[in-house]
C-alpha cells in the first residue's frame, strides 16, 4: 500500500491515523507531486484518485474541470498508463455530461498515445 501526497502535514496525520488502527505495516507514504513523479517501477495494480475540491465551489455551478485540483484529465491519463484498474471518486453533484466529456477526451488521447508508443 502506497500513499502519495504533496503536503508533509497531511502525511503526518495519515501516519498517526494508521498507527492508531494498527495498520502501519506495509504502508509506504511518499511526499511528492503525483503529476511529476516517475512511478513506472512500482507497477501498481490499483490506483485511487480522489483529488481535492476547491473551497468555494458552488454545487449548482460545479464543473469537474475547473473546481478540482490538480487537473483531472492529466491525472487520469497518467494513472491509466500505469495500470488499468482505477477508482475515481467524484462528488455526487458532479454533472454526468462533464464526466462523459472527460472520458471521451481521455480515450481519444490514449488511442493516439498508444499508437505513438
Partner 1 sequence: MNQKPSKPLISTSNLPTPLDFKPGFHYGNKKNLISKNLDDTRRISFQLREELISTKKPENKSIFSVLKNVFCCHQDRNQRNSPKTTTQKPYMKPNVQQQLPAKGSQASITVSSGPNQKSLEATLIENFTQTSTATNNQMAQALNNKGESSKENSSKITKPKLLENDLFGFPVEALFILRKDVGICNLLGKIKFVDFFINDSCANLSKKSLSNPCSNLHFFNLATFEKDHDFASFKKESLARKVSMNNFKELGKNKENQDGNWTENLKTKRNTVVDQQILLNFHEQNMILDYDQWRNVTPEQCAKHTAKRVRNRGVVLDAFCGIGGNLIYVKNF
Binding site for partner 1 (CB under 8 A): 1-5, 8-14, 16-18, 20-23, 25-27, 29, 34, 39, 42-53, 55-56, 58, 75, 79, 82, 85, 87, 89
Using the minimum distance from each CB to partner 1, give the nearer residue, 25 or 114. 25
Question: What's the min distance (Å) between Cβ of 113 and partner 1?
Answer: 19
Using the minimum distance from each CB to partner 1, give the nearer residue, 34 or 102. 34
Pick from 59, 111, 44, 114: which is nearest to 90 by CA?
Answer: 59
Q: Spell out the residues 6+ positions from residue 94 whose beta carbon is closer than 8 angstroms to its own.
A: 62, 64
Amino acid at each position: 500500500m502506497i500513499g502519495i501526497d504533496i503536503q508533509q502535514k497531511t502525511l503526518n496525520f495519515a501516519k498517526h491515523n494508521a498507527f492508531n488502527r494498527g495498520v502501519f505495516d506495509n504502508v509506504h507514504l511518499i511526499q511528492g507531486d503525483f503529476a511529476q513523479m516517475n512511478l513506472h517501477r512500482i507497477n501498481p495494480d490499483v490506483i485511487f484518485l480522489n483529488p481535492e475540491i476547491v473551497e468555494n465551489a458552488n454545487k449548482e455551478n460545479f464543473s469537474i474541470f475547473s473546481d478540482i485540483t490538480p487537473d483531472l484529465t492529466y491525472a487520469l491519463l497518467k494513472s491509466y498508463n500505469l495500470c488499468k484498474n482505477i477508482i475515481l471518486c467524484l462528488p455526487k453533484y458532479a454533472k454526468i455530461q462533464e464526466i462523459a466529456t472527460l472520458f471521451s477526451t481521455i480515450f481519444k488521447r490514449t488511442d493516439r498515445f498508444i499508437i505513438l508508443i
